[in-house]
Structures are given as structure tokens and as C-alpha cells.
Amino acid sequence: MKLSMFFAAVAVSLAALAGCSGGDGEIAVDAATTPLTAEGNDKLFTVRIVEAREGGYPLEGLVVKVIVDGKDPLTLACTPADANGNGALDKDETLECSEAAENQLDASVAGQEIDVELYAKIDGEETKVGAATWTPPK
């Protein structure tokens, strides 16, 4: 009986450690106020880090993707605002995201809820660290 209690305690400990992975972040998305156009370089939104792992997410390897209607994810151009200059995005820091020079999103998606995912390179692997939704203005 004591041995089974020990294994149960080990299993609980391992499960708790698994919950402390790089995916423990939380993001919020603040939409730009300008509507999407048929041209590239539209300002889309700001990603805010609501919760981050200790030490934040290294700027090198940060990727923001949007998923429209179940299509393949689009990778966006984003500029980090690393307020404390530590080379990582921490709680309350942001990423300003826009389209690439080539038009990726246009007015046809205005008003639709779109999934936004933030990835960071953690231990050499691209890891999803947060997700939210964004509704482009009409």
C-alpha cells in the first residue's frame, strides 16, 4: 500500500512539472483601429504578454501566426517592445504586428474572429506559448 502511495505521489509531481512548460503563457490581442486594405503592410494588432514564464520569452525565435478559416497559418511581421532591454518579452511587454509587404489579409476577413498564436524558441524547439483571438475592424 505504501509503495502505491509513493508512485501516486511521483505521478502527481511529474504532472505538475509538465504543467510548468514553456506553454504557460497568456496573451491578449489589441486590434488596430484601421481597416484592412488590399495592399500589404497593414497594421493588424498588438500582442500583449499577460503572463510569461520566469525569464520571459527570448526575442530571437518569437513568431506570431494567424489562422483564418482553418487555412494554413500565416506568419506575421512583428516588432517587439522589450521595455526592460533584457532580450526577452516579459509580462506586460508587447509585439506590434503587421502584414508583410505582400498582402496577406484583406477586407474579406473583417469582422471574422481569427486565431492568433505566439510561439517562442524554448530549448531549441518552437513552442506555442499563448493564443488569443482577433477580430479585424470593418
Domain-wise residue ranges, the chain:
23-134
Is the pLDDT score of 3 beyond 90?
no
Whether this prediction's pTM lies above 0.85 is answered by no
Is the pLDDT score of 38 beyond 50?
yes
Q: What's the CATH fold of domain 23-134? A: Immunoglobulin-like (2.60.40)
pLDDT for 22: 39
Q: Residues 6 or more apart from 68 whose CB is under 8 A from it?
A: 74, 105, 109, 112, 114
